[in-house]
Amino acid sequence: DTAVSQTPKYLVTQMGNDKSIKCEQNLGHDTMYWYKQDSKKFLKIMFSYNNKELIINETVPNRFSPKSPDKAHLNLHINSLELGDSAVYFCASSQDPSGGPGTGELFFGEGSRLTVL
Amino acid sequence: GNSVTQMEGPVTLSEEAFLTINCTYTATGYPSLFWYVQYPGEGLQLLLKATKADDKGSNKGFEATYRKETTSFHLEKGSVQVSDSAVYFCALSSGTSYGKLTFGQGTILTVHP
């Protein structure tokens, strides 16, 4: 079984459309994340949820809305897609969000490559 | 704020060559340091970590030592293989970051037979 699974793996769409990416983890972790990786491989955190509550919300356009129906799922909905949204979006999970020693072992999904035309 | 700087890539080596990928950081407090690896078409996976000064993380022949005095966490491997071709990310997590990792820009490594 895949520990962190994302769907779809590839998404090609037109500017102005709305799309969603789903993420599920079966590791029993309390915290889930969305990261964006641009064409130069640079990774930046977008959101983090702990037990369905938002704990990190970086400077992200409000066209991006995460939703966590339960602690095993964190979905990402994007409204009014723009060319600059083209990227690979990674979902991740971890056990401990507190930032203490040992924190930082994130388990990543395989990524969802979004192409906006 | 926290930041991580990695050496510019891409890095191209022949099999069995020695690898060093430099990583330096700035952070408040006492961060934990990590190397993640991303193989082609896959997500990132933890390669090794160190949680306090002078700790050495190691895995799959890779090593990195947490150097507080130079704020560095350089990745090394004595003899690389073609299968080590991947993107390598240095990252840190500090006590106030609620598990948020700050990543370096990634270094693409290609190993030729």
B84 φ/ψ angles, rounded to the nearest 5 degrees? -85, -5
Question: Cβ–Cβ of B46/A40 closer than 8 Å?
Answer: no
Q: How many other CB atoms sit within 10 Å of the CB of residue A28?
A: 9
Single out the residue of B69, B56, B52 nearest to residue A103, CA to CA.
B52
Contact indicator for B89, B103 with CB cutoff of 8 Å: yes
Single out the residue of B45, B99, B11 nearest to residue A97, CA to CA.
B99
What integer pLDDT is reported at residue A103 of this predicted model? 57
Interface check for B77 against chain A (CB to CB < 8 A): the answer is no
Q: What is the DSSP string of B62-74?
A: EEEE-BTTTTB--
Query: B5 to chain A: nearest residue by CA?
Result: A42
Single out the residue of B18, B6, B8 nearest to residue B84, CA to CA.
B18
| pLDDT tens per residue across span B79-93 | 999 999 999 999 998
What integer pLDDT is reported at residue A109 of this predicted model? 94
Q: How many other CB atoms sit within 10 Å of the CB of residue A57?
A: 14
Question: Cβ–Cβ of A56/B100 closer than 8 Å?
Answer: yes
**Strand segments (E) across chain A:** 4-7, 10-13, 19-25, 31-37, 43-50, 53-57, 64-70, 73-78, 87-94, 107-108, 112-116
What integer pLDDT is reported at residue A96 of this predicted model? 67
| pLDDT tens per residue across span A23-57 | 999 999 888 999 999 988 889 889 888 888 888 78
| More confidently predicted of B101 and B11 | B11
pLDDT at residue A104 greater than cutoff 70: no
pLDDT band at B99 (very low <50, low <70, confident <90, very high): low
Mean of the per-residue pLDDT values of chain A: 89
Interface check for B59 against chain A (CB to CB < 8 A): the answer is no
Separation in Å, CA of A77 to nearest CA in chain B: 20
Single out the residue of A111, A81, A90 nearest to residue A17, CA to CA.
A81
C-alpha pair distances (Å), A84 with each of A7, A115, A116: 21, 9, 8
pLDDT band at B94 (very low <50, low <70, confident <90, very high): confident
Q: Which position has the token pair 């240095």?
A: B90
What integer pLDDT is reported at residue B97 of this predicted model? 56
pLDDT at residue B7 greater than cutoff 90: no
Question: Cβ–Cβ of A43/B34 closer than 8 Å?
Answer: no
Helix (H, G, I), strand (E, B) or coil at A41: coil
Separation in Å, CA of B99 to nearest CA in chain A: 4
| Pair type for strands A31-37 and A43-50 | antiparallel
C-alpha B104/C-alpha B107 separation (Å) is 9
Which one of A44, A55, A104 has the shortest CB-CB distance to B93? Answer: A104
| pLDDT tens per residue across span A5-21 | 999 999 999 999 999 99
What integer pLDDT is reported at residue A74 of this predicted model? 95
What integer pLDDT is reported at residue A99 of this predicted model? 46
Mean pLDDT of A61-84: 94
pLDDT at residue B46 greater than cutoff 50: yes
Question: Cβ–Cβ of A90/B103 closer than 8 Å?
Answer: no
What percentage of chain A reaches a pLDDT higher than 70? Answer: 91
